[in-house]
Amino acid sequence: MIISRPQTGKVRTRRNFVMSFLVGLFLVAPWVVLPDGSPLIRLDIPQRMFHLFGGLFIPQEGLILWFFLLTMGLSLFFFTSVIGRVWCGWGCPQTIYTDLFDRIGRFVLDSKYGKKDASILGKYIVYFLWIVVSFIASFHWIAYFVSPYEMMADYINLAAFKQTHFYFTLFFTAAMFIDIGFIREQFCRYACPYARFQTLLMDEHSWNVTYDFKRGEPRRDGKTKIGDCIACNMCVVVCPTGIDIRDGLQVGCVACGKCVDACTSIMAKENKKTLIGYFSLKQIETGAKIKWIRPRTVIYAILLTVVITGAIIQLVTRTPMSMIAASNKSMPPILIPDNKIRAFVALRIQNIAPVEKEFQLSAFDTRHGKEILIRSGEENNKFKLGSGEIKSISVVLETQSLTEKELNEGYLPGSIVLNNAEDPGERLEKKLSLTLPRR
């Protein structure tokens, strides 16, 4: 386990602001309730409903999930190719909470933090505070899946141990305590998959934490001063993963910028510019400006734009209702007097709008352009559903009189239409093939 030396500087100040914002957002978001009573973000897996920024989504909307995952993946590709491992150094929870744990350790143990001669009591106080932070973070992580108000009520009433969320919180608390407290940089170096394929996404033009080897090498050897690097090794001392940035791009580098601040402060004493900063390899080798627009970034940008555009279109044209229709296998369509066909269909209807709505059912014979009588047990086939509410009903479909030719066609293509009673333009149609009984 590596305990790096703290380092102040411009990069550190900017990272403090970004990390404070991200942690604050993480802790506040699950508590926010919109004016209509729905949560800002809630992934309600048992109810199979996902509340996202005022919208209600269900697992059946797989295309939207596909667009979301593709957008995340392409964003990772694009931003890594342009600005390197910015996620690892500025937004990854592993980096953020490792930094927070170190702050706690130094607050309690001061200069003895990470050293073998630190007091036993001090160490246990640090461990206790780490567990508290892990519990708070885990509680809020579970709060994205379960109402934090309900969880808090369970804790206040001493009923939390009866709930599943309590044991999930304990599991993630233990996992975070062990990971951030003891595994730390080993996860970044050996377990993180992103660290493995970052080199495929970056090239010599990527803007990343880089060592200016042209100015720095060869390093100072004793009193012999050749390059600008004075071999103080401060960049290694402050590195949270223990690598030497002067050896080039490595899997262990999370681009946190601590070495940038360290080198900047040391080189300032020499009245020289920093040897480590946010550069590109090509910029160091040739002195040319960074080439932001290149085939790799253009392709990623085009793909990302196409996917985001598709996602926006999908969201704008999305119908906020869901209906699953299935013929009753145990009661196949039957022939009744006047050459009519009667069929039995099971419907599962869900309102995925953030407000209550009134719906109306209708059915049609799509082959012959005729209306099909539908009996749902509701007056005028109308019913109201609250936000997220599900209604499972069995309906009876009855066709108009069919000719002998129509009866011999083998099957009848039909459709069931679910309309917003207040807005007929908002409709959802489900195709249904009715097998005609043999005569």
Which domains, ranges and CATH numbers included, belong to the chain?
10-201 (no CATH), 321-435 (2.60.40.3880)
What pLDDT shows up at residue 274?
Answer: 94
- Per-residue DSSP letter, 61: -
**With contact defined as beta carbons under 8 Å apart, do 251 and 195 qualify?**
yes
Judged by DSSP in three states, 428 sits in strand
Which backbone phi and psi does 306 adopt, to 5 degrees?
A: -65, -45
What integer is the mean pLDDT of 129-155? 96
Cα 333 to Cα 437: distance, rounded to the nearest angstrom: 7
Which residue, among 45, 86, 50, 81, has the nearest Cα to 65 in the 3D structure? Answer: 50
The first and second tokens of residue 307, run together, are: 């996917």
The first and second tokens of residue 205, run together, are: 């033009």
What pLDDT shows up at residue 142?
Answer: 97
Residue indicated by tokens 């897996």: 45
pLDDT mean across residues, the chain:
89
Distance of CA 178 to CAs 118, 165, 181, Å? 20, 20, 5
- In this predicted structure, the answer to whether residue 343 has a pLDDT above a threshold of 90 is no
Residue indicated by tokens 């402050």: 238
**With contact defined as beta carbons under 8 Å apart, do 307 and 71 qualify?**
yes
What integer is the mean pLDDT of 204-210? 91
The first and second tokens of residue 171, run together, are: 């599991």
Cα 48 to Cα 200: distance, rounded to the nearest angstrom: 37
How do residues 382-395 score in pLDDT, each as one tens digit?
A: 999 998 889 999 99
Cα 33 to Cα 38: distance, rounded to the nearest angstrom: 6
- In this predicted structure, the answer to whether residue 329 has a pLDDT above a threshold of 80 is no
5, amino acid identity = R
| pTM beyond 0.95, yes or no | no
**With contact defined as beta carbons under 8 Å apart, do 365 and 24 qualify?**
no
The first and second tokens of residue 395, run together, are: 């309906």
22, amino acid identity = L
Bridge partners of residue 159, in order along the sequence:
none
What pLDDT shows up at residue 365?
Answer: 86
What pLDDT shows up at residue 177?
Answer: 97
How do residues 82-123 score in pLDDT, each as one tens digit?
A: 998 888 999 999 999 999 999 999 999 998 998 888 899 999
What pLDDT shows up at residue 439?
Answer: 59
Task: Give me Rg for the CA atoms of the chain.
Answer: 31
The first and second tokens of residue 299, run together, are: 């392709």
Greatest mean pLDDT among 24-28, 42-46, 56-60, 181-185: 24-28
What pLDDT shows up at residue 223?
Answer: 66
Which is more confident, 131 or 4? 131
Count Cα atoms within 13 angstroms, Cβ side, for 255.
23
What integer is the mean pLDDT of 343-364? 90
Q: Which residues are within 8 A (CB) of 254 and not within 5 positions of it... i.e. 6 or more apart? A: 85, 88, 89, 92, 95, 188, 240, 241
**With contact defined as beta carbons under 8 Å apart, do 288 and 59 qualify?**
no
Judged by DSSP in three states, 258 sits in helix
Bridge partners of residue 9, in order along the sequence:
none
- In this predicted structure, the answer to whether residue 130 has a pLDDT above a threshold of 90 is yes
- In this predicted structure, the answer to whether residue 181 has a pLDDT above a threshold of 90 is yes
Cα 263 to Cα 391: distance, rounded to the nearest angstrom: 65
**With contact defined as beta carbons under 8 Å apart, do 40 and 53 qualify?**
yes
Which residue, among 76, 95, 20, has the nearest Cα to 257 in the 3D structure? Answer: 95
How do residues 12-44 score in pLDDT, each as one tens digit?
A: 999 999 999 999 999 999 999 998 888 999 999
Which of 55-69, 197-211, 306-320, 400-414 is predicted with the least confidence, judged by mean pLDDT? Answer: 400-414
Pairing of strands 55-57, 49-52: antiparallel
